[in-house]
């Protein structure tokens, strides 16, 4: 999010400098410096971030873990929900320590012998194949070329259109972050975004084919060209709240605490690999395929719909401790409802037993300490 805002501000400053000032050192220095502002704010904001209760519990910093969890949930330490969550995390950590271990190589060994972990690694990597297959990085890196291919000509026009693309993308990202991701769920967002974005790309391909737009043309933008620009921004509206950030959310949620860092590293590596492949060949694709570039990206987007529907379970509202169970349920499209029902049943049983025993976090902590001392 920060890099999008910084890049957007930097772009508009760069646009104004290029338009009103002669070429000089400041034309690249000022836009670059402006993008450091959001990065700096993010850096200083980390000072007030709370450490993860799960991580603190794995490091035997129990008191701080309970304190942070109470702050996150806005509940007192003796609340049954806090007692329940701490107990579940404790049980999962103990199980992971006995099965996986805590050494540096333990996650690698766990993935090597566990097919469920391997499948999740593959699934997380393929999400970034589909993400880059939408054409987003081709547009991010070569947006002037893309806009010229649908009839936008002139340096100022292509820069302005590119800037509006950044505004649309940043604005919708805020809506996705604050509202859509937890309202519609991960699966629904991905499928809606892919289907709607594919239709927009097919329209752009049809327009370029029928209108016969050429990059070297000096003709003014026609009403058809205006409609093409509209569908391009509509594509942005479909893509941004779906495939832009949702694959990162899924990769952050589909792994338990033990192999989560390895899973995130794999996700980043896959993202940059597919990013490189698409961006490397985008200029050649526009030179040789013309309107076929839009057909190519449209086809990949529509193919991602059955991929998500059949293979990607919904992770919304599922604790990390239950991810193994979520990915064990078949079919994947029904796993979310089944696991949520199981979690509710477990919660009811735990709360009944805890209330009957007068259990609290303090008593649970004392019991754990006694067990460890023995």
pLDDT grade for 299, boundaries at 50, 70 and 90: very high
Let me know: does 305 contact 97? Beta carbons within 8 Å: no
User: What global pTM score does this model have?
Assistant: 0.77
The dihedral region occupied by 101, where left means phi > 0, alpha psi between -120 and 50, and beta the remainder, is left
pLDDT computed for residue 3 by the predictor: 45
Which residue, among 319, 239, 258, has the nearest Cα to 108 in the 3D structure?
Answer: 258
Which token pair is 153? 């000509």
Indicate the average pLDDT of the chain. Answer: 81
Query: Which residue blocks in 150-222 are alpha helix, DSSP H?
Result: 155-175, 181-183, 186-211
Cα 291 to its chain centre, rounded Å, is 29
Question: What is the radius of gyration, based on Cα positions, of the chain?
Answer: 25
pLDDT computed for residue 30 by the predictor: 75
User: What is the C-alpha to C-alpha distance for residues 133 and 144, in angstroms, rounded to an integer?
Assistant: 19
Q: What DSSP state is assigned to residue 60?
A: T
User: For 211-230, what is each residue's pLDDT tens digit?
Assistant: 765 544 445 667 777 888 88
pLDDT computed for residue 194 by the predictor: 96
115-320: which CATH number, 2.40.10.10, 3.40.50.80, 1.10.510.10, 1.20.1250.20? 1.20.1250.20
Q: What is the largest CA-CA distance in the chain?
A: 84
pLDDT grade for 98, boundaries at 50, 70 and 90: confident
Which residue, among 191, 194, 325, 354, has the nearest Cα to 254 in the 3D structure?
Answer: 325
pLDDT computed for residue 188 by the predictor: 95
Domain positions in the chain: 1-49, 50-99+329-373, 115-320
pLDDT grade for 367, boundaries at 50, 70 and 90: very low
Phi, psi of 134, rounded to the nearest 5 degrees: -75, -15
Let me know: does 128 contact 274? Beta carbons within 8 Å: yes
Percent of the chain with pLDDT over 90: 32
Q: What DSSP state is assigned to residue 321?
A: G
């Amino acid at each position: 999010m920060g890099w999008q805002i910084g890049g957007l501000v930097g772009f508009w400053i760069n646009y104004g400098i290029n338009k009103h000032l002669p070429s000089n050192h400041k034309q690249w220095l000022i836009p670059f410096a402006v993008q450091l502002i959001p990065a700096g704010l993010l850096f200083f904001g980390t000072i007030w971030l709370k450490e993860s209760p799960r991580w603190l519990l794995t490091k035997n910093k129990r008191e701080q873990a309970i304190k942070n969890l109470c702050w996150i949930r806005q509940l007192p330490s003796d609340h049954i929900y806090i007692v329940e969550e701490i107990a579940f995390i404790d049980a999962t950590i103990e199980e992971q320590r006995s099965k996986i271990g805590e050494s540096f190589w333990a996650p690698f060994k766990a993935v090597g012998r566990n097919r469920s972990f391997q499948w999740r690694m593959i699934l997380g990597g393929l999400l970034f194949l589909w993400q880059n297959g939408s054409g987003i990085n081709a547009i991010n890196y070569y947006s002037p070329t893309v806009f010229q291919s649908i009839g936008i000509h002139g340096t100022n026009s292509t820069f302005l259109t590119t800037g509006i693309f950044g505004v649309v993308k940043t604005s919708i990202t805020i809506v996705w972050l604050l509202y859509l991701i937890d309202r519609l769920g991960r699966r629904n967002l991905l499928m809606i975004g892919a289907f709607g974005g594919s239709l927009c790309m097919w329209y752009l391909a049809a327009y370029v084919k029928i209108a016969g737009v050429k990059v070297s043309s000096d003709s003014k933008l026609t009403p058809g060209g205006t409609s093409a620009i509209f569908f391009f921004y509509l594509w942005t509206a479909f893509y941004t709240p779906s495939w832009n950030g949702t694959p990162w959310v899924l990769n952050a949620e589909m792994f338990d605490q033990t192999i989560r860092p390895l899973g995130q590293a794999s996700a980043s590596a896959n993202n940059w690999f597919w990013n490189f492949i698409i961006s490397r060949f985008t200029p050649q694709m526009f030179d040789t395929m013309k309107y076929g570039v839009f057909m190519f990206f449209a086809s990949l987007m529509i193919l991602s719909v059955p991929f998500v529907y059949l293979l990607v379970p919904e992770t919304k509202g599922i604790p990390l401790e239950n991810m193994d169970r979520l990915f064990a349920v078949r079919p994947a499209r029904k796993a979310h409802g089944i696991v949520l029902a199981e979690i509710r049943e477990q919660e009811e049983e735990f709360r009944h037993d805890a209330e009957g025993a007068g259990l609290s976090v303090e008593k649970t902590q004392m019991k754990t300490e006694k067990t460890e001392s023995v």
